[in-house]
Amino acid sequence: MAVPDLSTQTTPGPLRLSGTARTALRPAPGAQVVGGFWHERRRINAEASIPQGPGLLETAGNLHNLRLAAGTAEGSFRGDYPFVDSDVYKWLEAASWRLAGIGPGEGGPAVVRLADDVARIIDLVAGAQQPDGYLNTWFQLTKGGARYTDLSWGHELYCAGHLIQAAVAHHRATGQTSLLTIAGRFADHLVSAFGPGPDRGIDGIDGHPEIETALVELFRETGERRYLELAGYFLDRRGHGLLGGGAYWQDRVPLRRAAAVEGHAVRQLYLLAGAADLAAETGDRELHAANERLWEEMAAGKTYLTGGLGAHHDKESFGDPFELPTERAYCETCAAVASVQWNWRMALLTGRARYSDLVERTLFNGFLSGVGLDGRSWLYVNPLQVRDGHTDPGGDKSARRTRWFRCACCPPNAMRLLASLPHYLSSTDGEGLQLHQYASGRFSGEAGGPPVVVNVNTDYPWRGRIEITVEEAPEDREWTLSLRIPHWCRSHSVRLGGQRLPAPAEAGWVRLRRTWRTGEQVVLELDLTPRLTEADPRVDAVRGCVAIECGPLVYCLEEADHQGGGLDRVVLDRTAPLSAEHRPDLLGGVTVITASGRRRPEGGAADWWPYRTAEPVADPAAGSRAAEDEPAADKPAADRAAADDAGQRLELTAVPYYAWANREDGGMRVWLPTR
């Protein structure tokens, strides 16, 4: 079944800078993803994921709560969390991006039904809103309306933020003002209820950031500076103990002075997205610098190979630097979404390629793993290892996909990102077009006249060849086509009309400046040779291990491909070559990487105790590196080496990490020991 319009849809984005914003780059005026990898994921999002929303929100009670608050239903509040309204808003945002540019009654029955669902649910939201603009069913229904009495945990402004984002999306995508009016009334209520000055009531901030970035976007959509100012107030009152001063809430130290990301990962990342928005709109250099500083700290020591963020299940928080356990990696899907949002803002703010490097890595790995191949099953957490003998606790934090969660924040978050994905792929700087991510589609930029437009055709990430054809270009003017050379890429080439161009990457960009002619074709070739990757030695969790990567994709072993399991006993042979084969039949079509290794015999320990005396190392005087690192060839060590080398040789089949947990349950590993 074809999706009406999806492949020709120009999706407006969740980020539209104001005219006075000071950024290196600006979102491109229009982008379409018309085929290839991301088109297929967006098709599933449009056909399978988004249409399920209304039914799931009904079953889970979210819509019931809105009716209760409106007085049009009877019963009691349903759901286990105070922020259940936000699930509705995130879904509305996703559905709105899906409807972008489709007129009333257009797009076929499924799209018409979706538009009807959106209108119906917006009516429910309108009904639940209180006369002064306030809206939060949890507080209205269970707290006797005692607003703002639990800012640390209540999520009232967090929900308001998601409402605002949904309203902006709905307005941009459909031109309708129904939801924007609701959001504006709530925002105006917040402006009057919070903030500095003697006539304001509450000097307070929300435990869960989100309102900051939403208010900046509402300012962009409406031009009303009071929203921008309130966002600035919320940002700068944080870190002064209004929430008790805990790191969990990023309230220990003001963000401008913070040296490290800390606490609850999603909260930290939404806060940083808001801080980047504020830096963009105000030109605040201190805030700009804080964003870059915190990003560097996070990237260098707190980011998983998959782009996943948040090491701890306990409090869903960042760990210490280099504390990146694989088996209990939390890596919430929402944190991946938030990371993409923040990184994209940073890419625009600075123009630096590294932010889009992390966007790419996150999209293809730690984000996409959260979405089942069927679009109807989800992961809340995205660990890098599931052990042999894993006892699954079930529930939200399970390593098995689930249709919906008690805490259902992730699925609609993933839906809204996929629905607005074209927005994150390209930018303009007024001098041309920057391609940050490679997807088949149509991308346009500005260069002082009518838009410059290119068509991209590629099988990326399965093939490294990216064909870029100029579709519209001024005949009389030079402009620059900038191509990001991914951080992982060790070799690339650029051809124009078959001729190889000198095209060194400078700070991650190849910049091709010329007077382009319509029909000219640039072919960028990125080396997709599969590779082994190792970690900084301070990442204790993966010492002595390598991961298999190919292009932007992180790979993993799954028990489903390894009869007999025993993945925790697998050793990869670093001397054997890796080979790649595309398998259209497997997991929706993936390139499989084959490696060679062996499986250690079971029962490594001599008896009941899993620790043993390390054999002494002989002949320190010899001093060679091998002698330092290897047990000497004395009798027991030699025996042990022989025993270690024993074990069944086997072919290892690695599949893209994003596709894991879509077959039968079992073990999984990203990082593989090499000895």
Which residues within the stretch 218-257 sit at the binding site for a second copy (CB under 8 A)?
A: 247-248
Lookup: tokens for 339? 């990371």
Residue 280: strand, helix, or coil = helix
Q: Return d(Cα 240, Cα 234) in angstroms, integer.
A: 11
- Token pair belonging to 90: 């995130």
Please give the distance of CA 342 from its chain centroid, rounded to a whole number: 9
The Cα-based distances of 166 to 77, 97, 123, 340, 424 in angstroms read 23, 9, 14, 18, 18
Least separation in angstroms between residue 251's CB and a second copy is: 13
Q: Residue 253: which H helix or E strand, with range?
A: none
Contact call for residue 576 and a second copy (CB under 8 A): yes
Does residue number 496 form part of the binding site for a second copy (CB under 8 A)? Answer: no
525 binds a second copy (CB under 8 A): no
Give the pair of three-digit tokens for residue 137.
């069913």
Tell me if 406 contacts a second copy by CB under 8 A. no
- Residues 24 to 63: which contact a second copy by CB under 8 A? none
CB closer to a second copy, 471 vs 665: 665
Nearer to a second copy, 146 or 633 (CB): 633
| Smallest distance from a second copy to CB 323, Å | 5
Q: Which is nearer to a second copy, 326 or 426 (CB)?
A: 326
Q: Which of 475, 585, 611, 635 binds a second copy (CB under 8 A)?
A: 611
Applying the rule CB under 8 A, the residues between 130 and 169 that interact with a second copy are none
The reply on whether position 532 binds a second copy by CB under 8 A is yes
* Strands lying side by side in the sheet with 30-35: 30-35, 440-445, 452-458, 465-472, 521-526, 492-496, 499-501
Q: Of 612, 639, 643, 646, which one interacts with a second copy (CB under 8 A)? A: 612
In the window 463-492, what residues touch a second copy (CB under 8 A)? Answer: 487-488, 490
The verdict on whether omega for the bond into residue 461 sits within 30 degrees of 0, i.e. cis, is: yes
Q: Does 70 bind a second copy (CB under 8 A)?
A: no
Q: Is 545 in the site for a second copy (CB under 8 A)?
A: yes
Question: Quick one: which of 475, 608, 635, 664 contacts a second copy (CB under 8 A)?
Answer: 608
Check binding of 106 to a second copy (CB under 8 A): no
Three-state DSSP state, 117: helix
Q: What residues have CB less than 8 Å from 630, skipping those under 6 apart?
A: 617
Tokens of 256: 């401008």
- Touching a second copy, residues 632-651 (CB under 8 A): 641, 645
Q: Tokens at residue 36, please?
A: 């290839």
Tell how strand 432-435 and strand 509-514 pair up. unpaired
Nearer to a second copy, 471 or 534 (CB): 534
Our CB check for a second copy shows the closer of 499 and 611 to be: 611
The residue among 6 and 381 lying less far from a second copy, judged by its C-beta, is 381
Q: Which of residues 587-606 bind a second copy (CB under 8 A)?
A: 600, 604-605
Q: Pick from 111, 656, 155: which is nearest to 371 by CA?
A: 656
Measure CA 446 to chain center: 27
Judged by CB under 8 A, how many residues of this single chain contact a second copy? 82
Site for a second copy in 423-462 (CB under 8 A): none
531 lies in the binding site for a second copy (CB under 8 A)? yes
**Shortest CB 314 distance to a second copy, Å:** 4
Distance CA 13, CA 417 (A): 10
507 lies in the binding site for a second copy (CB under 8 A): no
Selected range binding a second copy among 71-79, 273-281, 451-459, 574-582, rule: CB under 8 A: 574-582
Smaller CB separation from a second copy, 127 or 544: 544
Task: Name the token pair of 233.
Answer: 């107030």
Residue 582 binds to a second copy (criterion: CB under 8 A): no
Q: Is 542 in the site for a second copy (CB under 8 A)?
A: yes
- 483: Cα separation from own chain's centroid: 21
Among 4, 101, 666, 673, binds a second copy (CB under 8 A): 673
Tell me how far apart the alpha carbons of residues 439 and 424 are, in angstroms, rounded to a whole number.
Answer: 11
In angstroms, give the least distance from the CB of 152 to a second copy.
Answer: 15
Tokens of 75: 């019963």
Q: Which of 346, 363, 494, 546 binds a second copy (CB under 8 A)?
A: 546
Shortest CB 638 distance to a second copy, Å: 10
Query: Which residues inside 304-323 make contact with a second copy, applying CB under 8 A?
Result: 305, 312-314, 319-323
293 binds a second copy (CB under 8 A): no
Contact 526, 562 (CB under 8 A): no
Residue in 544, 564, 601, 636 binding a second copy, rule: CB under 8 A: 544
| Shortest Cβ 361–a second copy spacing (Å) | 9
Cα separation, 299 vs 21, in Å, equals 26
Give me the least distance between CB of 566 and a second copy, in Å please. 10
Closest CA relative to residue 303, chosen from 335, 277, 348, 267: 335
The dihedral built from the CA positions of residue 592, 595, 598 and 599, taken in this order, carries a sign that is: negative
* Mutual angle of helices 178-193 and 109-128, in 10-degree steps: 30
Instruction: List binders of a second copy among 339-398 (CB under 8 A).
Output: 354, 357, 385, 387-391, 393
Q: How far is the CB of 204 from a second copy (least distance, A)?
A: 23
Question: Which stretch of DSSP H or E encloses residue 252?
Answer: none
| Cα separations in angstroms, 191 against 139, 309, 475 | 19, 33, 50
Q: Which is nearer to a second copy, 496 or 641 (CB)?
A: 641
Give the contacts of 314 (CB within 8 A, at least 6 positions apart): none
